[in-house]
Amino acid sequence: NAGVTQTPKFRILKIGQSMTLQCTQDMNHNYMYWYRQDPGMGLKLIYYSVGAGITDKGEVPNGYNVSRSTTEDFPLRLELAAPSQTSVYFCASSYPPPANMNTEAFFGQGTRLTVV
């Protein structure tokens, strides 16, 4: 089972460059999330989506954009990379929301992004 797949695994960007982090899941989950993980910190929610065509901001959305054209895919876009966006990014999915009965979020392996 593939689960949640993120690409790329590693990326170095120069300040001002743009890129898209890809995330796809094959579990038919309605809910998808993007988190960033900074050293010594817990995960911070960037954006989430409750279904195709629906997205909403999380805790730290500035500098990022998302789209959800299909159930499977939830790409994260960085338009003008800044050093503050150096982090490890995780995509996750769940059905239904992670705090409901007998459900939990499934995570991808992460994308380590460095902005120099």
Partner 1 sequence: AQSVAQPEDQVNVAEGNPLTVKCTYSVSGNPYLFWYVQYPNRGLQFLLKYITGDNLVKGSYGFEAEFNKSQTSFHLKKPSALVSDSALYFCAVRDGLKSNYQLIWGAGTKLIIKP
Residues that bind partner 1 (CB under 8 A): 4, 31, 33, 40-45, 48, 50, 58-59, 90, 92, 97-101, 104-110
- Our CB check for partner 1 shows the closer of 26 and 59 to be 59
Min separation Cβ 80 and partner 1, Å: 26
Nearer to partner 1, 11 or 44 (CB): 44
- Please tell me what DSSP assigns to residue 98: T
Q: In terms of CB distance, is 17 or 103 closer to partner 1?
A: 103
- Virtual CA dihedral for 52, 35, 15, 39, nearest 10 degrees? -170
Strand partners, 17: none
User: What is the enclosing helix (H) or strand (E) of 106?
Assistant: strand 106-107
> In whole angstroms, how close is the CB of 7 to partner 1 at the nearest point?
13
Provide the pairing of β-strand 10-13 with 64-66. unpaired
